[in-house]
Amino acid sequence: MNHELPPLILASKSPRRQELLRLMDIEFRIVLKDVDESYPDDLQPEAVALYIAEKKARAFDETVGDEIVLTADTIVCIDNLILGKPESAAHAVEMLQLLSGRMHRVITGVCLLHKHQYHSFYDISEVYFGKLSDEEIVNYVEKYQPMDKAGSYGIQERIGLIGIERINGSYTNVVGLPTEKLYRELAKLNRD
């Protein structure tokens, strides 16, 4: 599939998303635009992830040619409370204390913009954290500085390795890009 795809633009500075695309053997270039990531308060979590991903794609609609623009937004949700990126180290500690010993959902909304058409989808994974001590949480936040991560953690980092008991759903979705669904959607675009 990859060789026939139009050129792909990844509109994300996330090194995790970049690495996942490389592992998929998808060639891309990175183009970043500043986008306000606010959203209406009345949206359900799945709709929030899609709304922000589509908002990011709209920033490219006037300027993109034959390329496919890939945008994504990952949110962490517990009891319908959306946990975005932490505002401070103390906030990161609070979030991880909330997640400790409980199940939360990770939702990634993805938008593929091609020829002024928006192809959007999302994926949901349930993540079960074991009980984490305050010391483990504080040490993680101090060492890894998870300020750029929804829910204040990276599954591929120490806290994920020692804290996550199981996942229902896609691992790559929790990393930040549901690669299985992305591959199928790109294949569909390629056929159109």
pLDDT band for 48, please (50, 70, 90 cuts): very high
Q: 12-40: per-residue pLDDT in tens?
A: 999 999 999 999 999 999 999 999 999 99
The whole model's pTM is what? 0.93
b/e 38-76 (16+ beta carbons within 10 angstroms → b):
ebeeeeebbebbbbbbbbbbebbeeebeebbbbbbbbbb
> Could you tell me the CATH number of the domain that includes residue 69?
3.90.950.10
> What pLDDT is stored for residue 1 in this prediction?
52
Could you report the per-residue pLDDT of 150-188, keeping only the tens digit for each?
999 999 999 999 999 999 999 999 999 999 999 999 999
Across all residues in the chain, what is the average pLDDT? 94
Instruction: Determine the structural domain holding residue 15 and report its residue range.
Output: 2-191
Q: What is the mean predicted confidence (pLDDT) over 56-84?
A: 93
pLDDT (average), residues 45-66: 94
- At residue 130, what are phi and psi to the nearest 5 degrees? -75, 175
Please spell the DSSP secondary structure of the chain, one letter per residue: -GGGSPPEEE----HHHHHHHHHTT---EE----------TT--HHHHHHHHHHHHHHTTTTT--SPEEEEEEEEEEETTEEE-S-SSHHHHHHHHHHHTTSEEEEEEEEEEEETTEEEEEEEEEEEEE----HHHHHHHHHHH--TTSGGG--TTSHHHHHHEEEEES-HHHHHT--HHHHHHHHHHHHH-
How many whole angstroms separate alpha carbon 192 and alpha carbon 190? 6
pLDDT digits (tens, 9 = 90+) for 100-153: 999 999 999 999 999 999 999 999 999 999 999 999 999 999 999 899 899 999
Determine the pLDDT at residue 64. 85
Average pLDDT for residues 46-68, to the nearest whole number? 94
pLDDT band of 3, cuts 50, 70, 90: low
Active site residue 73: yes
Percent of the chain at pLDDT above 90?
89
Task: Name the burial class of residue 186, with classes exposed (0-12), middle (13-18) and buried (19+) by CB atoms within 10 angstroms of its CB.
Answer: buried
Number of domains in the chain: 1
Query: What per-residue confidence (pLDDT) applies to 164?
Result: 97
**Does 84 score more than 70 pLDDT?**
yes
Active-site position among 73, 123, 148, 192 = 73
Quote the crossing angle between the two packed helices 134-144 and 89-99, to the nearest 10°. 140
Q: Is the pLDDT of residue 191 over 90?
A: no
